[in-house]
Structure 1
Amino acid sequence: MKQFQLFYAFLKVGLLGYGGGPSSIPLVHKEVVERYKWLSDDEFGDILALGNTLPGPIATKMAGYIGYRVGGVLGTVLSLIATTVPTIILMIVLLTSLSSFKDLDWVQGMTKAVVPVVGVMLAVLTWQFFENAKKGLGWVKTVIFGVASLLLLEWLNVHPGILIGVLLVAALVKKNKKEQEGGSSS
């Protein structure tokens, strides 16, 4: 049953994730965190952060990892097929048919109308991440990290992978320091 649920969840992502990775992320979140509860918000955030540091499309990286975590090797295969095959079929069908209609107003309007919807979906997901960060760090640290990340990513052009890597190492060092302090005081 879990294999079918994996396939179905990622099939929806593959069919409805119009616009690529940014539009797929909220759909994956809805399925794996909210609907099936295979992951917590924190685990999803960790997978998303790590997936963003690796090359390639985010939807397939997340499908592969989540599929493996939930359903093993078969889960990985089913999740990847469900994520990629609809896109391949839709690309072939749509590109052959839409290329003859691309100059029509309704086709151009359709593609322009999707942009705000994806923007809202990303804003909702961002707000959820801030809410979760607030629970762990508090508002002040969350805002400081958010502003610092914005400055580093947008104005100083630091690669997101470097920023995420530094934060992961800092968290591990802090965790190890706390464990050593806790172990030495016992």
Structure 2
Amino acid sequence: MIYLQLLWSFFQIGLFSFGGGYASMRLIQNQVVTLHHWLDMTQFADIITISQMTPGPVAINSATFVGTHIAGFWGSIVATIGCVIPSCIIVIALAKIYTKYRQLDAMQAILKGLRPAVVALIASAGLSILILSLWQGGAVSWSPASVDWICAAMFAAALFVLRKWKPNPIWVMVGCGVLGAIIFPFMG
């Protein structure tokens, strides 16, 4: 039964993940945290972080990690297949349609209309992870005591470095990970 739930959940994620892996984070959160309670928000944030650091698409990596966490090796296989199948079918169908009708104004209008929705999905997922990082347990409070100021400073520094010098984001993530490994053991 758990295999069917994993397959169906990640099939839905794969089916409705327009805009890539970052846009799918909100859908993944809804399935694995809100609906099925397979993970809590902290575990979800950890899996998203690992999924971003490992090679491959975020949604597929998340499916693999969640499947492993829930049902071991076969769970990872089933969840990954569930995530990939809709994309394969959709890409083949859309490639045929786009090749045939790419010059039509209606096709360009459809693509233009999808862009704001993709940006909203990415912003929503990013905001959820930011809130989880800066406030313990994800409960936003404007009390200065409730903010994790070390995480806030690391976020601001990483954002500044990424915008000012535009380095490879992997190096910024590695730097923040090393800094966290140095700082946080002494804090707790």
Alignment TM-score, normalising by the size of structure 1:
0.84
Amino acid of the structure 1 residue aligned with 2:174: G
Pairwise CA distance, 1:157 = 2.4
Inter-CA distance 178–140: structure 2 relative to 1 (3 Å threshold): closer
Q: Secondary structure at the match of 1:100?
A: helix
- 1:92-171 alignment runs, 5 A limit: 92-136=92-136, 138=147, 140-171=149-180
Is the Cα–Cα contact under 8 Å of residues 14 and 82 in structure 1 kept in the other structure? yes
Q: Secondary structure at the match of 2:18?
A: coil
**Correspondence for 1:32:** 32
Is the Cα–Cα contact under 8 Å of residues 52 and 160 in structure 1 kept in the other structure? no
RMSD, aligned CA:
2.1
Is the Cα–Cα contact under 8 Å of residues 101 and 107 in structure 2 kept in the other structure? yes
Is the Cα–Cα contact under 8 Å of residues 24 and 121 in structure 2 kept in the other structure? no
Deviates more, 1:145-154 or 1:24-33: 145-154
Q: 1:23-58: per-residue Cα shift (whole Å, max 9, x none)?
A: 222211111111111112222112212221222211
**Correspondence for 1:41:** 41
Amino acid of the structure 1 residue aligned with 2:147: G
**Correspondence for 1:64:** 64
Is the Cα–Cα contact under 8 Å of residues 63 and 83 in structure 2 kept in the other structure? yes
Structure 2 residues without counterparts, runs of 5 or longer:
137-145
Larger RCO: 1 or 2 (CA < 8 Å, sep 6+): 1
The sequence identity of aligned pairs, in percent, is 24
Pairwise CA distance, 1:176 = 4.0
Amino acid of the structure 1 residue aligned with 2:67: G
Q: Secondary structure at the match of 1:34?
A: helix
In structure 1, distance between residues paired with 2:29 and 2:16: 13
Alignment TM-score, normalising by the size of structure 2:
0.84
Amino acid of the structure 1 residue aligned with 2:169: P
Pairwise CA distance, 1:150 = 0.9
Structure 1 residues without counterparts, runs of 5 or longer:
180-186
Inter-CA distance 133–153: structure 2 relative to 1 (3 Å threshold): same
Is the Cα–Cα contact under 8 Å of residues 60 and 83 in structure 1 kept in the other structure? yes
